[in-house]
A = this chain, B = another copy of it.
Amino acid sequence: MSTLTSLTNHQVRLASRPVGLPTRDNWSFTSEPVTEPAEGGVLVKTLALSLDPAMRGWMNEGKSYIAPVGIGEVMRAGGVGKVVASNNPGFAVGDMVSATLGVQEYALVPGDQVRRSGMFKIDLRAGSATQWLNVLGMPGMTGYFGLMDVGQPKPGDTLVVSGAAGAVGQTVGQMAKIKGCRVVGIAGGRAKCDWVVNELGFDACIDYKAGNVKAGLKEHCPKGVDIYFDNVGGEILDDVLARIARGARIIICGAISQYNNTTPVQGPKNYLSLLVNRARMEGIVVFDYADRYPQAIAEMAGYLKDGRMKSKEDVVKGLQTFPETLIKLFAGANFGKLVLQVSE
């Protein structure tokens, strides 16, 4: 393993907590020598990292569903990579794995973290490395369990999903079609809307950048909205609340419109529609479903294979581009799941 120690690991660390949109000044670029894994540990060469809206929350101080990233720490990120050294009987050199790798070229994952953060082998016959960050990864799991467990889709239900062309949105919409729902997406721009309708088979898609979401919902959801999978919050959440059907289920998965606010979060002023319609609004955190990932992945891999599900990634190359690439998410400039490719 003497070759390892001659390698350099380039990293992106959180230098300061952003106010509003993160800028390049919030990051520091460091490098350090690669070291050997201790007992139980695994050294992984990063192939690709998942860039997610949730990262914005991890940059804030304060209690959330997961501890914030500390100042000076390597930024947290899930990713896929190849095992280049192992001191753990469960993993061999050459294995492809998915794990919390961080924004760096080499992740030295200690033994307790291998267990705790759920490092697992991925099978590239089931899906490509980037698909393992998308439909077969955390966004796919989030969409799957949010829809199935909280949304409880029934054939004939009308489902609306915001961020429809994003990583979670594309999974939710396609799964809902498979379960027999009428599916209406909300996305920014004609290209994304055309794609979810023509390529993914959504029944309709409302371009929120083109204007009137309210009118679009009225047109495409004449019987009201039975399930709303919310990735964005803000005005769009209010517009959907005004159209929910009796007994509707609203899955609160995220609120990307609010994450970079420097003013307080905008609360849904139409929340009393929950009362009138005996409806439910419920939050979901994907990690709670870790025990059931394998069965969900197997189901999704089947849909990928038989063509009932497609998976689109927006791949940007180069660790150094991380600050600007992350911003694409908040500008809605990504088209499909945003992935940072770190090595070939």
Contacts and interface: CB of A to CB of B under 8 A. Distances in A.
B283 A282 contact: no
Nearest to A63: B276
Given A264-B269, A268-B268, A282-B281, A275 B253 contact: yes
A268 B282 CA distance: 14
A255 B278 CA distance: 15
A133 interface: no
A281 B274 contact: yes
A280 B278 contact: no
A283 B277 contact: yes
A270 interface: yes
A95 interface: no
A267 B282 CA distance: 16
Interface residues on A, range: 20 to 34
Contacts of A238: 267
A250 to B, nearest CB: 9
Contacts of A279: 282-283
B280 A284 contact: no
Nearest to A230: B275
B272 A269 contact: no
A30 interface: no
A252 interface: yes
Given A267-B270, A279-B283, A280-B283, 17 more contacts: A64-B276, A65-B276, A65-B278, A233-B272, A252-B274, A252-B275, A255-B275, A267-B267, A271-B271, A271-B281, A273-B283, A274-B283, A278-B282, A278-B284, A278-B288, A280-B281, A280-B282
A212 interface: no
Interface in A239-283: 252-255, 258, 264-283
What 5 pairs across the A-B complex have the smallest Cβ distances? A267-B267, A275-B283, A274-B283, A267-B269, A280-B282
12 contacts: A65-B275, A65-B278, A233-B272, A255-B275, A265-B269, A266-B267, A274-B283, A275-B284, A275-B285, A278-B282, A278-B283, A279-B283
Contacts of A283: 272-280
Number of identical monomers bound together in the oligomeric complex: 2
Contacts of A276: 63-65, 283, 285
Nearest to A280: B282
A265 to B, nearest CB: 5
Interface in A308-327: none
A238 B264 CA distance: 12
Contacts of A264: 269
B281 A258 contact: no
A254 B275 contact: yes
Nearest to A285: B278
A93 to B, nearest CB: 38
A146 to B, nearest CB: 10
Contacts of A253: 275
Contacts of A266: 267, 269
Contacts of A258: 272
